[in-house]
Amino acid sequence: MIVTLREVLSDAKATNQAVAGLVCLGWEDMRAYVKAAELEKQPVIIQAGPSCRKHTPLSVLGPMMRYLAEQASVPVVVHLDHGTDIEECRQAIEAGFSSVMYDGSRLSLQENIETTRSVVELAKQYGVSVEGEIGFVGYADGETSATTDPQEAAEFARETEVDAMAISAGNVHLQIDSDTELDERVINEIQKLTNTPLVIHGGSGVPAIQRAKLAATTNICKYNIGTELRVLFGAELRNVLAEDTQVFDRIKILGALESRLVEGARTVLRSLLNG
């Protein structure tokens, strides 16, 4: 069933758990991730990030993802990740996304607040949820992070009325190794000042034990996981091709790969439970 981000994060916050925001690149992985969620009987957020949108237009992604969500036996959020401007968020809403993230993290605080608030006002007209970002989450071997200021986070949450707020507390995008622990002091300071559900981008770099701990003890209700599953996809694709060096039909190749993706996604989903 298709649901909004507000719905699944409200439930996650009430039960001291977190929901996985799984970054998709195409039909095969988004289908595997929904199947994994059904097997685990957990909600899931399937996300179309910038790389996905470069490959496939929003007008195509929306119906694809909505179809999977509507057929699923568990709640599924269809989410735009890192929307670049109001127009892109509008296009995603019109394409059927139930949730959009507007990323104004490179803007000044006031510009970020004003633009994010405009996205929230737009999304409310369609019953769509909005995630915003305050602070800046950097990239492995790229831009460096700027840790979220708790006072600014409180102001941002209050002034924008976002349904979820992505923060920077040691997390980094596109990190292959899961050995970067989040700064729990920063997280605790933020949640002293706001009850808005918190989001961790770059969740692949956070050790599984800390994911579960913070889901159980803080307002972190969503972890974005992309790199971890992309690494798995690449490794298992190589394995499939090595196991049958004569195979050439992409349907057979991807069919053999799907069960391995499902199991990998199930592992990620379980890592967010509080035990």
Do 135 and 153 form a contact (C-beta atoms < 8 A)? yes
Do 29 and 46 form a contact (C-beta atoms < 8 A)? no
Segment (H or E) for 221: strand 220-225
Bridging pattern class, strands 220-225 and 19-24: parallel
Chain centroid to CA 159 = 23
Closest CA to 19 of 211, 171, 157: 211
| Residue with the two structure tokens 């000042």 | 193
- Is 183 an annotated catalytic residue? no
- The amino acid occupying position 225 is I
Catalytic position from the list 11, 29, 81, 85 = 81
Chain centroid to CA 172 = 14
Question: Which residues have a catalytic role annotated?
Answer: 81
